[in-house]
């Protein structure tokens, strides 16, 4: 079964995914291809140049790709073929309509946190200037496309507790009816 983990910047998606992988070693994680330098986030990703990303996209190597905050993200097709067991990838709320088309039966898990925690986490990571943090906080309230009913994980505790909540959400998500289409306006 394939799951996408989405949520606002600062919600702790990368931290929870890393902890969940530690707690459940059999959980398969899709290593995204991203056009930003390695070591610029807590996420395990493949760093590529914009030119390399474009080349790989043109070659059809991505099952899904999107652009956010001036950065390109790709889900390698090879990592989501032959799904055996649970597979998770760190996705994007804005890319959900395309993700649902690319991955029939996709389950959506929304990781979020209270606004004051989002702000504190964004400031603490020191990656963005204050205006960009403000922009990310404004986007934090953006909802999901119509018809998408996620399992929600409130990440307002320790990373260990958050990871346990994420694993419980994966278990809960398995029992849900898969999203098969986006309702009007979700394109």
Q: Are 6 and 96 in contact (CB under 8 A)?
A: yes
Closest C-alpha among 147, 172, 159, 177 to residue 11 = 159
Predicted local distance difference test score (pLDDT) of residue 110: 92
154-172, pLDDT tens digit by residue? Answer: 999 999 999 999 999 998 8
pLDDT, tens only, 35-87: 988 776 667 889 999 999 999 999 999 999 999 878 999 999 999 987 677 89
If DSSP states are collapsed to H, E and C, what string results for 85-119?
Answer: CCEEEECCCCCHHHHHHHCCCCEEEEEECCHHHHH
Share above pLDDT 90 across residues of the chain, in percent, rounded to a whole number: 50
Across the range 9-30, mean pLDDT stands at: 90
Class of domain 2-173: alpha beta
Pairing of strands 2-6, 107-112: parallel
Mean pLDDT rounded to a whole number for the chain: 85
Q: What contacts 3, CB < 8 A, 6 or more positions away? A: 86, 87, 88, 89, 106, 107, 108, 109, 170, 173
What are the structure tokens assigned to 74, written together?
Answer: 């790709």
């Amino acid at each position: 079964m394939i799951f996408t983990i989405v949520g606002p910047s600062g919600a702790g998606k990368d931290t929870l995914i890393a902890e969940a992988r530690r707690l459940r070693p059999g959980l398969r994680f899709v290593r995204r291809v991203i056009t930003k330098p390695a070591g610029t986030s807590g996420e395990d990703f493949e760093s590529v140049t914009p030119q390399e990303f474009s080349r790989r996209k043109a070659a059809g190597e991505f099952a899904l790709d999107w652009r956010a905050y001036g950065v390109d993200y790709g889900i390698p097709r090879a990592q989501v073929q032959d799904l055996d067991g649970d597979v998770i990838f760190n996705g994007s709320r804005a890319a959900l309509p395309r993700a649902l088309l690319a991955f029939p039966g996709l389950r959506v898990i929304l990781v979020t946190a209270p606004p004051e925690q989002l702000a504190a986490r964004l400031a603490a990571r020191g990656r963005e200037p204050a205006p960009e943090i403000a922009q990310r906080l404004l986007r934090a309230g953006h909802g999901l496309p119509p018809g998408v009913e996620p399992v929600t994980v409130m990440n307002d505790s320790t990373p260990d507790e958050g990871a346990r909540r994420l694993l419980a959400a994966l278990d809960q998500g398995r029992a849900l009816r898969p999203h098969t289409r986006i309702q009007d306006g979700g394109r």
